Amino acid sequence: MAGTVFSEVIIHRASKDEALHHLRGHKGVIFSISYEPYRNTIVTTSDDRSVRIWGPNVPPAHAHNTVTYWEGIEIVCKHEVYGHLARVMRSCITNNLIVSVGEDSAICYWDFDGKLLKKALTHQNGCIWSVDSDGTSLVTGGGDSGVILHPLTIATDYCQENIIDVGVATPKKVLFTARNNLVIMDEANLIYYDVVNKNKTEHKLNHESTYKLLALSSCKQLIAVADMAGKLDVFVEKCKDEAFLLNIVDTKLQIGKILSMQWAGNRHLVLCSGDGNITVLASNNARVEVYANFVLPNCKERWLTASAIELENYRFIVGDRCGNIHVFIKGQNNPVKTFHKVHGRYGPTSISVGNNRIITTGRDGTIKYFSINGDVVKHMSNKDLAFEWVEKFLDKGENIICGFQERVFVVYNVNENSKMLEVACGGGHRSWDAVRYFKKVNENYEELIKLIYLKNSDINVVTFQLSKIVSRNVINGSHAKEINCLKSHRISNATVYITGGEDTTLRISSVDAEMNFKDEVNFKHLSSVRTLKTFSIDENHFLVLSAGGRAQLCIKDIKLTNKDNNIDVTSEELVDYLIRGTDKERKGNQTWRNCSIDFDPEMRIMDIDVINDKDGLIIFAGCSDSYVRVFTFKEDSKKVEIIKEAKYHKTCILKTKCIKILNRNILITCTTRSEVTFWNVTDITNDNFEPFFSTKTNKSGINSIATVNVSEDKVLVATGGDDNAVHTIIVEINVQNNMTSARVLHTWKSANNHSSQITGLILVDDYLVSTSIDQRITLFRWKIYEEGIDCKFLSQSHTMVSDIQGMDLLDHNCESITVCVFGKGMEVIAVPKIPE
């Protein structure tokens, strides 16, 4: 069988030139053909986004491995199905399923009647290129360089759904207890339902107000019910022997109108009343006593949405409805620290404290991480998720998190950046709860997640057995699109890679001694990450500066530690700077009626370099609008300010490089017109910010540059560009009467070693290494003579990485030069040195 670009499948017989069958119907190129002889089924996929299921028009009378079978049957299209949003790359046929994968990162599970049973997104939104199955599991390979194993039961045994009838006409709220039983509250009662024995116990709530608050402690054993008038009941679930609820507190509080109530841990109940008064209660046998009092700072909606406690330092962390996080110390009414508008206007949904850090979630699609160091609480970093409503963690390791993507309940694996499960329940505005637990199933302990929610006054329970639905990484994936920039760092016996790509992410990944690759942390940019630089502070402590689309510049403080061969990355996001400001800053105080349309597209920062300054850093950025922009970063204020910009060039600046020679800081810029321009940036405060020398090397754009000082006043500059050529020049720098000048002494070029654009150059010792989109790595030896410079070709090797964007030096010794090439993936290659 063969698929053609002419939208048809041709079935040939090997002994004859004439084709047996032509299967027509697709409207695009045929990408794959799968055949299952025992089911008489052919499955084809195409770039028309369709999957076609073919079979005999009438049941065949002969065996499928006979010539008579193929000559006598008429093959027709039984089903034409659509489930993909882009090109369908591959398919495979299992015992009971047809599986198709595509460019939209979707796996579609079909039955043989063409019904879509399940659709799952995977491989971090990258294209899925390959698929195969052994009958019980499915394996896929994707554009994120990952290999994932999927259980086939995801299509047939995804979950168990039940409606529980407890005899409550209008349930208002539902919760899971520590024993996975149910607590249901209606208008007048609190009902405890034993799921195993299927019996219920009603507790009368003698509350004046019809509006009641229900809160469950972290251990899920304590249930608090309070109304706005101050009536409080606390129940405890007995976890030994027979399960039941015991009312341990029944009191009336004199704290005014109660607006919110949450548990902070397992013992402290936090209530917020009018005027932002916070009362923390603690139980003392059957009585409650006031443990602490605080005052919430003034805001529009002055009540709490989440709270937590750090008992060792008597520290309370609370979040209000306006998205602020406040840190209180027992004995002080006012917060000692406030983080303004950390989450969206609905406030944080959960706060957890432990291991000297605070983690908060919110309905703005983010997880926020804070560090605790003595009395200092500091915001460190954010984690952006693929859904807006992020509710809470289901495990103690803060990895499995749940929330809502519009009307769909989602459970997400934070470390692997993947959805574990989803169910359409109608959204999070209804009463709901979720719990993760372990249960013995068929002699094995299985991990389960159970969801309960109210819909049309019915109590719906959905149970997921994770081993039947959760995929497992065989090879960890990373960037789903091209990697534009990469820097490496060595720590103990592991290597850490900092990468930025077209998928708008900046990632810090590790490779251990066993060559296991893993993304440690993942940061989001507004657009593609074009360039990054690292600035070392200590051995395993450095700053990462990244920039790219939307004129965005970010700075992060990274600390690496190696604990038991596991890399631990501590990150602090210092700066997120937009050159033209945020949308709100650009709008200013204008109303929407008076706002003018801004037609100017935001430029991209193409490359950056950095030099040390007495107060911080000076950052040089080459931009797509032909400007050279200079920024300062102050260590004390942690702020970036633009201090200079110059428009000398007429076209986009592709590369920037800082060198030091003759005690002068020199900036080199390269453009799409092959200009190599030198700027004296020793005293950046000088008003005369202009280049002192410019020359041309390549015939067109310069994609890569490398330099090395060859003497006190001479520098070797190597450039590679779109003309497929490598150029080297010797530039002599002169300084007289504080005036800097330069001239080109010698040149050399070669266009014979690569067949496409040069994208990476490295100068190390007397070797020059180049790489190109043609997937070749070329080694030269350079030498300077009195009459000029010469580069001798030594060797050439090949890489598996396509669309190479650059190359970074990892290590070099007397035998080899180890480099990492990156593009659509990354590969580490040792280039052997060839002695003279």
pLDDT for the residue numbered 738: 82
What is the per-residue pLDDT across 95-143, written as a single tens digit (0 to 9) for each? 999 999 999 999 999 999 999 999 999 999 999 999 999 999 999 999 9
pLDDT for the residue numbered 459: 96
pLDDT for the residue numbered 297: 93
Does residue 494 or residue 497 have the better pLDDT? 497
Q: Is residue 224 over pLDDT 90?
A: yes
Half-sphere exposure of residue 774: CA atoms within 13 angstroms, side-chain side = 19
pLDDT for the residue numbered 595: 64
pLDDT for the residue numbered 509: 95
pLDDT for the residue numbered 519: 92
Please identify, in words, the CATH class of the domain defined by 266-384: mainly beta
pLDDT (average), residues 7-35: 92
pLDDT (average), residues 498-524: 92
Domain ranges of the chain: 2-152, 170-252, 266-384, 397-477, 648-832
Read off φ and ψ for residue 623, nearest 5 degrees. -115, 160
pLDDT for the residue numbered 564: 78
Q: How confident is the model at residue 661 (pLDDT cuts 50, 70, 90)?
A: very high
Q: Is residue 588 over pLDDT 80?
A: no
Kindly list the strands in the beta sheet with 212-216, ordered across the sheet, starting from the edge strand earlier in the chain. 212-216, 222-227, 231-237, 245-252
Q: How confident is the model at residue 512 (pLDDT cuts 50, 70, 90)?
A: confident
Q: Is residue 68 over pLDDT 70?
A: yes
Q: Is residue 687 over pLDDT 80?
A: no
Taking the C-alpha atoms of residue 311 and residue 294, their distance in angstroms, rounded to an integer, is: 16
Q: Is residue 601 over pLDDT 80?
A: no
Q: Is residue 594 over pLDDT 70?
A: no
Number of other residues whose CB lies within 10 A of the CB of residue 630: 19
Intrachain domains 2-152 and 648-832 with the same fold: yes
Return the structure tokens found at 363.
Answer: 């309905």
Q: How confident is the model at residue 243 (pLDDT cuts 50, 70, 90)?
A: confident
Q: Is residue 71 over pLDDT 90?
A: no
pLDDT for the residue numbered 836: 75
pLDDT for the residue numbered 325: 96
CA-CA-CA-CA dihedral for 208, 211, 217, 223, to nearest 10: 40
What is the per-residue pLDDT across 338-370, written as a single tens digit (0 to 9) for each? 999 999 889 999 999 998 999 999 999 999 999
Query: Of the CATH numbers 2.30.30.90, 3.30.450.40, 2.130.10.10, 3.30.70.260, which one belongs to the domain with range 648-832?
Result: 2.130.10.10
What is the per-residue pLDDT across 160-175, written as a single tens digit (0 to 9) for each? 999 999 989 899 999 9
Percent of the chain clearing pLDDT 90 (strictly above): 80
Assess contact for 816 and 833: CB atoms under 8 A: yes
Burial of 518 (0-12, 13-18, 19+ CB in 10 A): middle
Distances (CA, A) of 659 to 40, 250, 287, 681, 812: 69, 74, 72, 10, 21
- For the chain, the average pLDDT equals 93
Q: Is residue 780 over pLDDT 80?
A: yes
Q: How confident is the model at residue 709 (pLDDT cuts 50, 70, 90)?
A: very high
Assess contact for 91 and 131: CB atoms under 8 A: yes
Instruction: Note if the pTM is more than 0.95.
Output: no
CATH number assigned to the domain covering 2-152:
2.130.10.10
Residue 557 CA, distance from chain mean position: 18
pLDDT for the residue numbered 345: 85
Q: Is residue 293 over pLDDT 80?
A: yes
What is the per-residue pLDDT across 147-160, written as a single tens digit (0 to 9) for each? 999 999 999 889 99
pLDDT for the residue numbered 654: 98
